[in-house]
């Protein structure tokens, strides 16, 4: 009788400890993802940067895209406004990408095409398509909403966390799940590998260089590779600035046709 009681007590204790451990793991994972999202997309109250993409196809042919990014947060981990102004080459010069990022709903995205004087709305279903011919997608540039995925911690060591993310709506993406390696010091995602249903890596993002700018660890060189043919795009950032005082009124449709030149220098 006593043995039965002890066994039952041990089972209850183990079950209780398991519940505590599971709850702790959930809170820990949520905290990691929030810190990573904050570090990746919300450094400072606002920011600007000049960027260059080098697009290399499977045959080694290269294309270049040069642009300036302006970004302003409504609140940390909250809604956000973004403008991307293309300056080179001539076939994309004057093209503007505008994003109103929303936490509780689908982001609003527009693309201004100067040759047609046309503002084209990018539907939610198109966010996983090429960003002006690059291997980066529209969603890679503005950031994926963490609420769209279920996260779990695969492992961790002294330097990083390895997370698994599974989309809540599998029909909305081209992959089955992805792994992220998050640096423990900066909380920046240093690598993201996207897997298909056969558990093969189909696409991979890797951070190649990070700099501390105005106290914020900042990705200044990243690469996105299509594993099926080895084609890739490298993105480099320079003249990165934070807390520059961008006014709210520049994040409007008017700026698509009349860029705020004072903030693009």
Q: What pLDDT score does 158 carry? A: 94
Distances (CA, A) of 164 to 38, 56, 190, 239: 18, 29, 14, 33
Length of the chain measured in residues: 265
Domain segments of the chain: what residues? 29-263
Give the whole-angstrom CA distance, residue 49 versus residue 67. Answer: 9
pLDDT in tens, 114-151: 999 999 999 887 889 999 999 999 999 989 999 999 99
pLDDT in tens, 39-57: 999 999 999 999 999 999 9
Asked whether the bond before 89 is cis by omega within 30 degrees of 0, the reply is: yes
Q: C-alpha 132: how far from its chain's center?
A: 17
H/E stretch holding 51 reads strand 46-56
**Is the pLDDT at 24 greater than 80, yes or no?**
no
Q: Contact 66/54 with Cβ under 8 angstroms?
A: no
Superfamily (CATH H level) for 29-263: Lipoprotein localisation LolA/LolB/LppX (2.50.20.10)
Nearest by Cα to 104 from 144, 137, 145: 145
pTM of this structure: 0.86
pLDDT in tens, 53-66: 999 999 999 999 99
């Amino acid at each position: 009788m006593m043995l039965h009681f002890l066994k039952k007590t041990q089972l209850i204790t183990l079950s209780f400890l398991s519940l505590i451990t599971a709850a702790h793991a959930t809170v820990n994972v949520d905290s990691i993802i929030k810190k990573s999202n904050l570090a990746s997309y919300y450094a400072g109250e606002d920011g600007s940067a000049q960027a260059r993409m080098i697009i290399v196809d499977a045959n080694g042919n290269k294309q270049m895209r040069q642009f300036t990014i302006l970004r302003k947060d409504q609140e940390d981990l909250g809604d956000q406004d973004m403008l991307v102004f293309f300056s080179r080459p001539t076939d994309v010069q004057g093209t503007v990408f505008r994003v109103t990022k929303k936490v509780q709903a689908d982001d609003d995205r527009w693309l201004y095409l100067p040759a047609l004087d046309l503002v084209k709305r990018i539907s939610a279903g198109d966010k996983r398509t090429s960003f002006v011919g690059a291997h980066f997608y529209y969603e890679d540039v503005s950031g994926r909403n963490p609420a769209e995925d279920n996260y779990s911690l695969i492992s961790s060591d002294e330097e990083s966390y390895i997370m698994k993310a599974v989309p809540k709506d599998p029909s909305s993406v081209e992959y089955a799940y992805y792994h992220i390696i998050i640096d423990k010091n900066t909380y920046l995602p240093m690598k993201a590998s996207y897997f298909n249903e056969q558990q093969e890596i189909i696409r991979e993002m890797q951070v190649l260089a990070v700099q501390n700018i105005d106290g914020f660890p900042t990705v200044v060189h990243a690469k996105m590779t299509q594993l099926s043919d080895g084609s890739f795009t490298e993105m480099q950032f320079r003249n990165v600035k934070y807390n520059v005082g961008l006014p709210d009124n520049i994040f409007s449709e008017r700026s698509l046709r009349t860029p705020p030149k004072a903030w693009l220098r």
